[in-house]
Amino acid sequence: MNKNVLQTPIDYLKGVGPNRADLLRKELGIHTYQDFINLFPNRYIDKTRYFKVNELQRNSSEVQVVGKIVHIKMVQQKRGKRLVATFVDATGEMELVWFRGHKWIKDSLKLNTPYVIFGKTNWFNGTFSMPHPEMELLKEHEQSLRTAMQPVYPSTEKLNNKGITNRVINKLMQQLFIESRTQFYETLPPTILNELKLISKTEALFNIHFPKSQELLAKAQYRLKFEELFYIQIQLITKNLIHKSKIKGFPFDQVGEKFNEFYANHLPFELTNAQKRVIKEIRNDLGSNAQMNRLLQGDVGSGKTIVALMSMLLAIDNDFQACIMAPTEILAIQHYNGIMELVKPLGLNVKLLTGSVKTKDRRVIHEMLEDGSLHILIGTHAILEDKVQFKNLGLAIIDEQHRFGVAQRAKLWHKNTFPPHILVMTATPIPRTLAMSLYGDLDVSVIDELPPGRKAIKTVHRYDSNRLKVFRFIRDEIAKGRQIYIVYPLIQESEQLDYKDLMDGYESIAREFPMPDYQISIVHGKMKPADKDFEMNRFIKGETQIMVATTVIEVGVNVPNASVMIIESAERFGLSQLHQLRGRVGRGAEQSFCILMTSHKLSADGKTRLETMVRTSDGFEIAEVDLKLRGPGNIMGTQQSGVLNLKIADIVKDNDILKTARYFAQQVLKADPSLMAPEHKAVRYTFAQLVKHKNIWNYIS
């Protein structure tokens, strides 16, 4: 087929016309023949099988039955009437029901004549019934031309109301295949087609829309899913290669005295093997001529801060400055305090820049940054302001990166003539599947072991009826000198309700743990930032034993003495949030506990989340379960939910196909980075087309 025919506007397809074209554009984003051919069915009705009445299952599935109508009656009901026909075959009987169009239907039905009926069955009072069945006389059914598997296409209410039903889309699709004479150019190289025994592009497209059998449908789906994921990986890997060849970074040639001095004499504990491996990966990046673009994943408490500090020491040894950007002021202060403590013996100049730093102190920081006397700047979004200029920023570290947009990251790049090396850190484990797709253009490092001496947190699930026992346990822990978090859910839509839950909870805890024996801090979103910080600091200093809070404490607060985390209405939290909250305890040498409190009413997903939390503390395993429960869009947060705008593949279910696609994309680009070899002609052309027509989803850069 002429390659350009696929770019024909959909208006020109016979049977479409300007009005329908307009609807297809607005409702389904279909502009061209190419878009239409990529409108894949989301399910199929299998009309290959004829059921007997005694084979019907109580699962309200769509079935096809052959039989006769032996009796018709009208039944009065509360509102109006219904028409009921008794339908029988050799094995039993069922009812056909109509709630509207009675007269016309009654007149058209033939008694004791074989029909093929099709529809959804219901089971009620010991009988199967089928409302508003599709009906065809058996002899006409045998003569008509049908594919056995009928595709059901994505649709919208508006399309159905305007008469563009599934049947119409099916007809238009047939028309498209007639006009294109079913010749589609091949998009994959022969080597891959042979090795994976894939069917051709033409065969795959034909069988996805008009499958001849279950087997051919499965082959078509595999082929098209593989192709979609293969081109995404080609794009991400190409981006990474271009990045490394074009974007020069500052080579940090030497491992100098600050790094060596710290490593030899001031490390507070022995590094884990995972930390050593990651530092080595970072050193290799920093020593090459390319700009580092690395994602560092490590569970809460796995020791990312030490890795970040040692990377910054490498920059300083090579006469560069470094900065860390954190999403909240509390987190920035915590990084600042932690790093000040560690670098004290090295005589480095470290400053903190947040929204609340006074103007005259800011001026001093700006001057020191510009004359190069400031080695490390730690701060919040305030670092991105135009006034903040470095003399030579060599390394920028971004903590909890999903809270910063792409545009904000880009701002850091422009603080220099050369872009600095970038290290992105996150304690939110991203499942491997998703990391391959979302961050395929970043190099990924993982710290997957906890420092020695850390005890695993004991997690239990308790119902509200056990509350008194839980209070007794809190008393015992406080008597040992420990501190307790009690967290309430925060769901934006019902702020009043949440506030009430929190206040009721606070009052019942204040009754159980009265002053002066006990001191309680309370923190929630309605407080002024200064009051919030005041309460947080009282808890951090140990002046209060219990902190009652909403999820504002989720990220990064470090109180080694807090050993119990109680999460109220735990079923209302997502898995990753529960895991983050649990990570607030277990930071000291003592045994820590996480208690998940719920009512007895739990959904199936709620049960799965709680069981997962009790069973494992492995962030990556939790992230995989979370991904299965919520789907990829929600995991990355709303701002990135459109990220995986896939046409046919599913990142979770097609995990294995994704791995295969990434492997083959790597092989192709390793052998032929510019795709100029004759056998990669199809890949080069298809990739260029995808980029040109914006059909490749530009993921997060």
- Same structural domain, 370 and 356: yes
Q: Which range marks the domain in which residue 383 is found?
A: 257-287+303-426
Question: Which pLDDT value is given to residue 635?
Answer: 44
Domain end (from 426, 448, 482):
426
Average pLDDT of the residues of the chain: 84
Cα gap 625→10, rounded to integer Å: 41
- Same structural domain, 385 and 469: no
Assign residue 22 the CATH number of its domain: 1.10.150
570 occurs within a structural domain: yes
23 occurs within a structural domain: yes
399 occurs within a structural domain: yes
- β pairing state of 350-353 and 376-379: parallel
CA 414 to chain centre: 29
What confidence category does residue 402 fall into, taking pLDDT thresholds of 50, 70 and 90? low
Cα gap 327→400, rounded to integer Å: 7
For the cut 60, the answer to whether the pLDDT of residue 594 exceeds it is yes
For the cut 90, the answer to whether the pLDDT of residue 691 exceeds it is no
Lowest mean pLDDT among 36-40, 245-249, 491-495: 491-495
Domain end (from 403, 426, 449):
426
- Same structural domain, 130 and 167: no
CA 391 to chain centre: 38
- Mean pLDDT calculated for residue range 303-313: 92
Q: Give whichever of 5-14, 326-335, 402-411 has the largest mean pLDDT.
A: 5-14
Residue pair 310/324 in contact (Cβ under 8 Å)? The answer is: no
- Of 449 and 15, more confident: 15
Question: Which pLDDT value is given to residue 637?
Answer: 41
Number of domains present in the structure of the chain: 4
For the cut 60, the answer to whether the pLDDT of residue 149 exceeds it is yes
- Same structural domain, 267 and 402: yes
- Same structural domain, 37 and 107: no
- Per cent of the chain over pLDDT 70 is 88
- Of 148 and 349, more confident: 349
Which helix or strand (DSSP H or E) is residue 505 part of? Answer: helix 495-512
Question: Which pLDDT value is given to residue 675?
Answer: 92
Cα gap 309→330, rounded to integer Å: 19
Residue pair 623/429 in contact (Cβ under 8 Å)? The answer is: yes
For the cut 70, the answer to whether the pLDDT of residue 699 exceeds it is no
- Same structural domain, 35 and 169: yes
- Same structural domain, 29 and 57: no
- What are the pLDDT digits (tens) for 403-439? 555 556 566 666 666 788 989 888 777 776 666 666 6
- Mean pLDDT calculated for residue range 480-503: 74
Which whole-number Å values give the CA distances from 199 to 44, 183, 205, 229, 620, in the listed order? 20, 14, 10, 16, 35
436 occurs within a structural domain: no
- Of 655 and 90, more confident: 90
For the cut 80, the answer to whether the pLDDT of residue 145 exceeds it is no
Residue pair 509/530 in contact (Cβ under 8 Å)? The answer is: no
- Same structural domain, 129 and 156: no
Report which residue type is found at 420.
P
* pTM confidence score: 0.63
Annotate 562-596 with b (16+ C-beta within 10 A) or e (fewer).
bbbbbbbbbbbbebbbbbbbbbbbbbbebebbbbb
- Same structural domain, 141 and 160: no
For the cut 70, the answer to whether the pLDDT of residue 479 exceeds it is yes
673 occurs within a structural domain: no
The length of the chain, given as a count of residues: 701
Assign residue 96 the CATH number of its domain: 2.40.50.140
- Same structural domain, 76 and 22: no
- What are the pLDDT digits (tens) for 229-256? 999 889 888 887 777 777 777 788 888 8
Assign residue 576 the CATH number of its domain: 3.40.50.300
For the cut 70, the answer to whether the pLDDT of residue 572 exceeds it is yes
- β pairing state of 134-137 and 293-298: unpaired
- Same structural domain, 332 and 421: yes
For the cut 60, the answer to whether the pLDDT of residue 492 exceeds it is no
Strand-by-strand arrangement of the 376-379 sheet: 350-353, 376-379, 321-325, 393-399, 421-426, 293-298, 443-447
674 occurs within a structural domain: no
Instruction: Output the six-digit token pair for 435.
Output: 């990391």
DSSP conformational letter for 385: S
Question: Which pLDDT value is given to residue 698?
Answer: 40
* 3-class SS of residue 524: coil
CA nearest neighbour of 540 among 514, 517, 561: 561
Residue 247 backbone dihedrals phi, psi, to 5 degrees: -90, 105
610 occurs within a structural domain: yes
What confidence category does residue 644 fall into, taking pLDDT thresholds of 50, 70 and 90? low
- What are the pLDDT digits (tens) for 257-281? 999 999 999 888 889 999 999 999 9
377 occurs within a structural domain: yes
DSSP conformational letter for 666: H
Domain end (from 411, 426, 441):
426
Cα gap 477→466, rounded to integer Å: 17
- What are the pLDDT digits (tens) for 96-105? 999 888 888 8
Instruction: Output the six-digit token pair for 197.
Output: 């025994």
Question: Which pLDDT value is given to residue 414?
Answer: 67
- Same structural domain, 7 and 95: no
- What are the pLDDT digits (tens) for 375-389? 999 998 888 888 888
CA nearest neighbour of 53 among 66, 43, 41: 66
Question: Which pLDDT value is given to residue 679?
Answer: 92
Residue pair 130/97 in contact (Cβ under 8 Å)? The answer is: yes
